[in-house]
């Protein structure tokens, strides 16, 4: 799961002081599988991490739009080249 992931949300961060769960060890294990893994701690109670999480989502959406726009431009260029080639064949 962590090998393909880009983000690990560690939710209920406000409860960590009351649990025996070792969040740092869990993060360490996940990063052994995927060193590039981004980790965001979130808490619905306090709102911790939500701004960072939303920013991460917005960055992903913006990157996807940029890739799509580049693909459209590339396809338009290919269509123009094929139309020019077809015009040459018609002569």
Name 38's bridge partners: 7
The mean pLDDT of 30-39, rounded to a whole number, is: 96
For residues 53 and 40, the answer to whether their CB atoms sit within 8 Å is yes
As a whole number of angstroms, the distance between CA 66 and CA 42 comes to 28
Q: Which long-range contacts (CB under 8 A, 24 or more apart) does 51-59 make?
A: 53/9, 56/7
pTM tops 0.85, yes or no: no
For residues 4 and 37, the answer to whether their CB atoms sit within 8 Å is no
The mean pLDDT of 70-78, rounded to a whole number, is: 94
pLDDT above 90: residue 91: no
How does DSSP classify residue 13? G
């Amino acid at each position: 799961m962590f090998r393909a992931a880009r983000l690990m949300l560690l939710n209920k961060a406000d409860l960590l002081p009351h649990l025996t769960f070792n969040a740092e060890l869990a993060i360490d294990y996940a990063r052994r599988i995927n060193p590039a893994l981004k980790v965001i701690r979130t808490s619905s109670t306090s709102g911790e991490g939500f701004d960072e999480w939303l920013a991460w989502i917005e960055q992903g959406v913006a990157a996807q739009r940029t890739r799509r726009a580049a693909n459209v431009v590339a396809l338009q260029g290919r269509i123009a080249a094929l139309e020019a080639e077809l015009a040459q064949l018609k002569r």
